[in-house]
A and B are shown apart, each in its own frame.
Chain A
Amino acid sequence: MERWHTHVLREKIDPSSMLIQGNRACALGALDAGVRFFAGYPITPSSEIMEAMAVELPKVGGVFLQMEDEIASICACIGGSLAGQLAMTATSGPGFSLMQEAIGYAIMVEAPLLIVDVMRAGPSTGRPTAPSQGDVMQARWGTHGDHPAVVLAASNVADMYRLTMAAVRFAQRFRTPVTLLADEVVGHMRESFAPELIDRYRLTSGDFDFSPSYIHPELVREVHPPHVLGSEAHPHVTGLIHDETGFPTNDPQKSEKFLRELYDKVGNHRDELCLYDVKNEGKGRVCIVAYGSCARSARAAWKLAEKEGLQVEVLHLYTLFPLPVEIIQKVARRVEFMLIPELNLGQYAREVRKMAENWTTVISMGKIDGTLITPREILDRVTELVGKYESV
């Protein structure tokens, strides 16, 4: 068992006052979680993750590969994963698009994998150094066919460390690729960061266990017996729909059973997978539901509102998929409005609306100019809402 937080503590900075870049924190989180295989392709604004891995992985005997493109990168990762390595890649929108077919393969063959997407403004080449949250639905539905997805979103440098760890744990325990979404601001910013505080970071109403025992977590019961290359079973792995033997099947019943089990292994464990934090719980008529950089604006807006004598609730989501149905509906029952600030045109707001519209009015607040939504912009919208519709 490796010493916990080995890598982050090895940073040459005084641990009580660390300043780390988001992308570097992600690399350190991966190393501390036991990732020993990285294959990637350079792309702004994620390249610093890859560069950190190029330096650090050889030191711990891990594998670092710069492949010829993002398709090769994720395929090499799947190869590493099938051979028993904890594998990871990092990219941004254009590269993430290229990876989509292989992500479906990884889901199908139940290969644990971490994919970090540091989002930039798109579509296409877009604006490489401008933040965006435009890849949310790509992370959910980018690959073809019905499939489960586990998607987390980081809002600060500490998240880049601890959610990377959480993502690795989920990938192992559920044997599926997990996507960690960040954005250009979170990836490139440097922020004070105290590793000694990580163990007890609050991620849900309960505490997420970051103790060392999380390495090699038990598989959830719905996972099919893993086929690991090099094992005595000399397995067969295929992207065709297959049964538990690993060989393809055309039997309709077996096909449906297999696909439903893939779904269920994620859907049945939302209580474990859905990480979130509620601020100013039960106060005010409006709840700001936010993730990533926008959650920081939402928190600032809440504090600004308080100064101005207005109460708002904040629901900060760390897990976007599987959908955190329970907490969304719980909050929806007690507020009049749910305001969703996002750096896209309402991709996640549509999801929230599906879950919450029976109880509350869901309002999307999208921005796609390549800048963050400011706390003042959010507060202005909140004030407008509560002013326009007097409380009944």
Chain B
Amino acid sequence: MDVLLFAAAAVRISVPYALAAMGASLSERGGVVCIALEGLMLNGALAYTLGAYATQNPWAGVACALLAGLLTAWLHAEATVRFRADQITTGLGINLLAAGLTRFVLVRVFHSSSNSPRVPGLPEWRLPVLSDLPGVGALLSSPLVLVTLALVVLVHALLFRTVFGLRLRAIGERPEAAATLGLSVTRHRFAGVLLCGLLAGLAGAYLSSEQHSFTDGMTGGRGYIALAAMIVGKWNPMGAAAACLLFGAAEALQIKLQGSAFPSELLQALPYLITMLALAGFIGRAVAPRAVGTPYDPES
């Protein structure tokens, strides 16, 4: 029972990571580095709160979060794909922009520099059998948990089983080869980044919905953990989701051990250390798509 509860806690924590990490894998497989997850999630979280606050309907909040993720990602895509700006700096800029913008809106709309009023969260889905399972029943009644589980399969299939996914992967590896076959590098990279925005926006909605409010800087570095998970998962949506589960378990353990003599802060550093080891080649070889980070310039 205890184990099941712990597993449920780990899954709960890893849901936003998994959504964002899967998004990043779509963006990076197409050749655009996604440092901007943090900003995408933050904007999504605020948009959920605004939508849910204004309409008192959590699903309207989710729609707003998706839209905010999409718009933020569109900005990222315009800069990196159309203007061929440096992808890393653009991502950092978008994170900074989201941090400032959400605070600005928080102050203007909710007249508080720290948090929004309470907003409705997503209602539980009472499902036969699943919702009655011991330990994990509550978990499996959460709509976004179920959506995420489905998305893990869907996004993986999108990348590896569809024409779009094949073309996206080809463009992330060898854009000039895809271009000589008449594929549009710009359009595919835009699609990858925008899908990433949708998923990260949804991740933000999950955070706000769980917490029933928006608080300043509430993503708290989760975007970077998601990015790390995507690397450890070797740029595969399923691998990324699995790494998120691992990182989520570490975090659940850390929460459990807080206040005890055990140095839980060191557990907090674990995901980052694992990622560094993966990058250095100690845990299999984490190889990025070859053209990731390189703007595609058809003239050169």
Chain B associates with chain A = no
Q: Which residues of A contact B (CB under 8 A)?
A: none
Q: Which residues of B contact A (CB under 8 A)?
A: none
